[in-house]
Amino acid sequence: MPLNALQIYKLLPKTNCKECGFPTCLAFAMKLAAKQVELDACPYVSDEAKAALIAASRPPMRLITIGSDEHKIEVGNETELFRHDRSFYHPPGLMVRVKDTQPIGEIEETVSQVDGYSVELVGMTFGLDGIALENASGEANAYVKALKAVRANTDLPLILMAEDPKVMAAALENLGDTVPLIYAATEENWSDMVELAQKHKCPLAVYEADGLNELAGLVEKVEEAGVEDIVLDPGTRGFSDSLSVLTQIRRLALKHNFHLFGYPIITFPGEKTDSIEEETILAGQYIAKYGGFIVLDRFDPAEVYPLITLRLNIYTDPREPIQMEPGIYEFGEPTADSPLLTTTNFSLTYFSVAGEIEASGVPSWLLVTASEGMSVLTAWAAGNFDAERIAKDVKKFGVADKISHRKIIIPGLVAVIMGELEEELGGDWEVMVGPKEAMEIPRYLEEVWR
């Protein structure tokens, strides 16, 4: 929990010697609280005060990175219990598990599918984040063979899952230049796993299903042994127990500054669910609350798509709508006779409209106006999609040079600005009122425009 200026001041020497460059210790404390100076600027801070101040400035949840420079996932470092309070920052990694008891061909096929999966949403490309390889056979040779098959088919980040430290050691020796998550340290094997995590500089998952006190105890031992990058697995696998336990962990970390739980959580929605639909729903729950790594057991593009959409929604900063660049966009190969439509620059609005124009097959121009990333009605109500602004963008983007007619189609939801826009545009412009819903655009272009 960050300290305020007065709390920091109490930890300073209070001699006002000015060596830090500030006239008083209180002035220095105020700058420190605002993170505008370094603690080292004061040469007289005691070791005890230093430890307290460093602990206070530590983020409540550690950022964990796995993978390589080209393909990495960063999870954790969250500061909020509820996304609407500010934002969630690091989307959970969506991984798919394969086991070394599967035929090599099957492993290769799944890994290739995961590696090649991608989906376009609001102008961005998303995919899955990695592979979890489980040592279900208990044998090192089978595990290393499966690992080589995985690595031959993807550079995505990996979670190595093995109970036996000797098997884990063999896998780590054969891994190459990527940083995996080691899963997992348990009460039985933690000291060997700690050694491997330190030797290979990897984050280490800690598994303890006997209760949160026991999990905290094991994390403490792993921390004291020198591991800094930790991932938690409290062993809960069902809907309600996961919701309860993951919420407790997040609350203890963020609201009570309980540093032993200040790490991301790994989850396995496929383990206690009977169908891919249930697994997908539970994975969705983990996206909302509070999975850091989500390991799926069943891979189906149709089930992954809603998870990626949900993750995008939950991890988009609600204060910053995703916006399109204002301008004139082309669909098909529009000519001077093609229709001209207009909409706002809120990306979801843009892609709804763009998708329907494309579906209509009518080559068209679309003027995307600068409307602060708001949807049509909201932008209109806020004065960001009015006649003046649209007319200004018609001139700014040279729309009249691209078309021979003087017709502009506005969204039906803002039919009220029709007259005013004709006045603003002047001359021989005609404003046509388009449909209220994007899905009606193809019919409108076919029946009204033509």
The site for ligand SF4 (CB under 6 A) is made up of 12-13, 15-20, 22, 25, 28, 42, 44
Rounded least distance, CB 40 to ligand SF4, Å: 10
Rounded least distance, CB 5 to ligand SF4, Å: 12
Nearer residue to ligand SF4 within complex by CB, 53 or 283 = 53
Nearer residue to ligand SF4 within complex by CB, 13 or 361 = 13
Nearer residue to ligand SF4 within complex by CB, 22 or 329 = 22
Rounded least distance, CB 54 to ligand SF4, Å: 16
Nearer residue to ligand SF4 within complex by CB, 8 or 410 = 8
Judge contact between 290 and 334, C-beta under 8 A.
no
Nearer residue to ligand SF4 within complex by CB, 22 or 346 = 22
Nearer residue to ligand SF4 within complex by CB, 50 or 406 = 50
Rounded least distance, CB 43 to ligand SF4, Å: 6
Distance CA 362, CA 380 (A): 27
DSSP state of 324: P
Q: In 3D, which of 272, 214, 215, 219 has the Cα closest to residue 242?
A: 272
Nearer residue to ligand SF4 within complex by CB, 12 or 341 = 12
- Residue 378 corresponds to which tokens in the numbers above? 């909201």
- Residue 79 corresponds to which tokens in the numbers above? 């500061």
Radius of gyration of the chain (CA): 28
Q: What residues contact 273, with CB distance under 8 A and at least 6 apart? A: 279, 281, 282
Rounded least distance, CB 18 to ligand SF4, Å: 5
Rounded least distance, CB 21 to ligand SF4, Å: 8
Nearer residue to ligand SF4 within complex by CB, 15 or 275 = 15
Distance CA 172, CA 164 (A): 12
Query: How big is the CA angle at 59 (ends 57 and 63), to the nearest 5 degrees?
Result: 145
Number of Cβ atoms within 10 Å of the Cβ of 401: 8
Rounded least distance, CB 14 to ligand SF4, Å: 7
Distance CA 319, CA 75 (A): 21
Rounded least distance, CB 33 to ligand SF4, Å: 13
Q: What residues contact 249, with CB distance under 8 A and at least 6 apart? A: 212, 232, 234, 261, 265, 290
Q: In the chain, helix, strand, coil percent, each to 5?
A: 45, 20, 40
For residue 316, the SS3 value is coil
